[in-house]
Amino acid sequence: MDRELQLAEHYLSSGLLHQALESLRRVLSLNPEDALAHALLASCLIRLKRPSAALHEAQLALGLAPESSASHSALGAALWANRRNAPALEHLQTAVALDPENAGHRLALASFFRSQGRRVEQQAQLDVARTLDPDSPDVIAATGDAALDRGDTAAAAELADEALRLEPEHIDALTLMGRVKLRLGDTRAAREHAVWALRADAQDTGALHLMAEIKARESPVLGLWWRYNTWLSERGSTGMVIVLMGAFLTYRVVTQVLEDRGANDLAQLVDYAWLGMCVYSWTAPARFRKSLEREIESVALREDF
């Protein structure tokens, strides 16, 4: 059973989710009370887009081994997948407290902080994980993602290259390099890396998101929004507020000055332009989400076929 569990972990890290699922089912058929197998199964089900089933397995794992860091980490990830962020954070932090030398738990917590825009806490966990496991492609790729999120394209490229030297088919590293290429305007290379990542795991969220970003970047309708959103995201949550408030204040000052000078028609044109920008900024994300959903649906159809 130990060998079967190791095999399942290997399949999970390689993106071979259905093979991992079968290995874990074999383990649980022999020992239904194996907490680690339930925890790994929860991780597998999350990546297979089955959050409710993942939560059930993670709860079983914690019930069987309430002091296991793996059980808490699995439950935290499952709760997060079910959009229950407050208890998810509690269990992810408990996993780190129970096993502070585990780089994987640190990485999971960093990923959660990234999703919440808490970059300082994210980087703190990544720094510890990098110290604990400096040669882990998972940790290196996640550190590269953080660098790219803050606009440091050069550092992200170096980290992606380092991770790919260690593991040439690492999905997160391939996706990271694709994102780097996209930021540099090389959509052809970005698409190649997205395809390589999807060949390893056709349901990988990061790779699918990258493919949707490429299409948005090339779209005459979404291209402008993609560039603006990318630039704005690099500012962080505080920077976003400052930029948006600054834009609004500038708009109000310009219209007021034009009205004071009697240029009411021009002021009205500025009003229309501002309204158009607002409508565009509201509708573009919805268009992007639809594009991402189409990518996911096309993968599901290919797998069903």
Q: What is the pLDDT of residues 92-129, one digit of tens each?
A: 999 999 999 999 999 999 999 998 889 899 999 999 99
pLDDT for residue 268: 76
Domain count, the chain: 3
236-251: b or e for each residue (b if 16 or more CB lie within 10 Å)? beeeeeeeeeeeeeeb
CATH number of the domain where residue 158 is located: 1.25.40.10
For the cut 60, the answer to whether the pLDDT of residue 284 exceeds it is no
Residue 231 sits in the same domain as residue 208? no
Give the residue from 65, 99, 133 where a domain finishes. Answer: 99
Give φ, ψ of 270 to 5 degrees: -65, -40
pLDDT for residue 79: 96
Residue 106 sits in the same domain as residue 213? yes
Residue 112 sits in the same domain as residue 214? yes
Give the residue from 79, 99, 119 where a domain finishes. Answer: 99
Q: State how far the Cα of 240 lies from the Cα of 248, in Å rounded to an integer.
A: 12
Residue 231 sits in the same domain as residue 183? no
Confidence of residue 253 (pLDDT cuts 50, 70, 90): confident
Residue 91 sits in the same domain as residue 132? no
Give the residue from 174, 199, 218 where a domain finishes. Answer: 218
Residue 70 sits in the same domain as residue 114? no
For the cut 70, the answer to whether the pLDDT of residue 221 exceeds it is no
pLDDT tens per residue, range 12-67 = 877 778 888 999 999 999 899 999 999 999 999 998 889 999 999 999 999 999 99
Residue 21 sits in the same domain as residue 92? yes
Give the three-class secondary structure for 56: helix
Residue 141 sits in the same domain as residue 93? no
Residue 94 sits in the same domain as residue 107? no
Residue 79 sits in the same domain as residue 110? no
* DSSP state letters, 107-155: HHHHHHHHHTT-HHHHHHHHHHHHHH-TT-HHHHHHHHHHHHHTT-HHH
For the cut 90, the answer to whether the pLDDT of residue 85 exceeds it is yes
Q: What are the distances in angstroms from CA 12 to CA 4, 19, 132, 171, 178?
A: 12, 8, 21, 11, 22
For the cut 60, the answer to whether the pLDDT of residue 303 exceeds it is no
Give the three-class secondary structure for 167: coil
Residue 263 sits in the same domain as residue 167? no
Largest CA distance in the chain: 84
Structural domain range at position 148:
100-218
**Residue 100: which H helix or E strand, with range?**
none
Residue 117 sits in the same domain as residue 189? yes
For the cut 50, the answer to whether the pLDDT of residue 299 exceeds it is no
Q: State percent of the chain over pLDDT 90.
A: 49
Q: State how far the Cα of 263 lies from the Cα of 256, in Å rounded to an integer.
A: 10
Give the three-class secondary structure for 102: coil
